[in-house]
Structure formats: C-alpha cells, structure tokens
Amino acid sequence: MPVKIAPSLMCANLLELRQNIAELERAQVDLFHIDVMDGHFVPNLALSFDLAEQIARSTKIPLDLHLMVDRPEDFVESVRRVGAAYVSFHIESTANPIRLARTLKTSGIQVGAALNPSTPADALTYLIDELDYVLLMTVEPGYAGQKFIPQVLGKIKQVRQMLDAAGPGRALEVDGNLNAEWARQCIAQGASILVAGSSSLFRKGTDLYTACLDFRAGINQELHQ
C-alpha cells in the first residue's frame, strides 16, 4: 500500500493558511489532516468545522478529519457538511462506536477509529470490521511538539495484522512527532498514512514546499529498502 503524507493544518500559520495550502498543493501532498477539538476530550481548541468546510471548498486535495471531541455522534451532520473524504473518531469518546461508524459510512465517507497511546489494540476487536482505517496516536492528543512514544511501535504492528486479517485495502494512519526517522520506523511496522506536523514540515526557517520534498525523500529510504 503506497504511503500517504497528510500535513496537519493545526500546525500551519493560520494567518497565512491560504499560502501554506498552496505550497502543500505544489508539493503534491496526499491529504490535509484537520484536527477538530472541543476543549473537553482534549484540553485544547483547534480547528473548527466551519474552517474545515472553507478549506474543502478551496482545494482538490481530500480532507482527513480527526475528531478529538466528546460524543462525536453529536457532530455527524457537521462532518457531512464539511464533505471530508476521511473521518476518524476516538474510540475512547463514544459508547456506541459501531453505530457511529455505520452512520458515517452512509455518507460514503472513509471511516476510521483513533486510539490514544495508552488504549490497547484489542479495543478494536468488535469494531475493526466496520472500519476503513485506524489512526494510532504516537503522542497524547491535543498539542503539537510532544515527544514520540516509542512503545506505540509494537501496537502499530499489532493493528496492522488486525487490519490485514479484516480484509484488504485498510489503511493504518499514525499521528504525533513524526520526523523522518520515526516515520520510517512506523512504516516498517505497517503504517500507510503519516500525519506530518511541526517535527517534519512546519519548521521555522524552512519553506513548506522544500520541507515536503525532504520529508518524502526521507521516508522513501524505508520504502526502497
């Protein structure tokens, strides 16, 4: 499965968001990762559904919507309004994940479940057949710039095996402090979508276009071995 790069727009300069998006488009990134936070499930507020909808109207690159919210089932209509290609919700945030996954799929959306670092892979046992992909956090969700948690590498391998057993074509996304070295290790364990933020793309003193090319070249070292 080809590895996709999904820049995290919460790490962008929001005062220059249109310019940032243009540079990422020029670099031919695969997805735009958009974190929607409510200040409850995570202690932060980030991008909104309204902003995500505006981004969707301004680009042809598919949106990857990551819901870091309590009771994500309350936001189904907002998700549909955005028109994202991918949407993930945290398995820790809802009492009815199977029902929610099935509801979202009626809109033709690729549906994923996100797991915090301390949430075990077997939490997916009764849900994985309903999913198109899984998003594994390699840091605690809510803030950029945290240290990668290396113990998650074993969980990436375990979830990759679960996804393969469930059927072909299911992606495994990873999110959190993915510099080129950690990204290569995640790919080696089975990751196929890399959320790229302040550790790889949105770095001071480096333009986004060049940073994207450098990051892709760095991960290609793993793909071509």
Q: Which residues are catalytic?
A: 35, 175
196: β partners: 7
C-alpha to C-alpha distance for 154 and 160, rounded to whole angstroms = 10
Quote the tokens at residue 134.
Answer: 């899984």
Q: CA of 86: how far to CAs of 62, 206, 207, in Å?
A: 8, 29, 27
Residue 185 and residue 155 in contact, taking contact as beta carbons nearer than 8 Å: no
Tell me the angle at which helices 49-58 and 17-26 cross, rounded to the nearest 10 degrees. Answer: 50
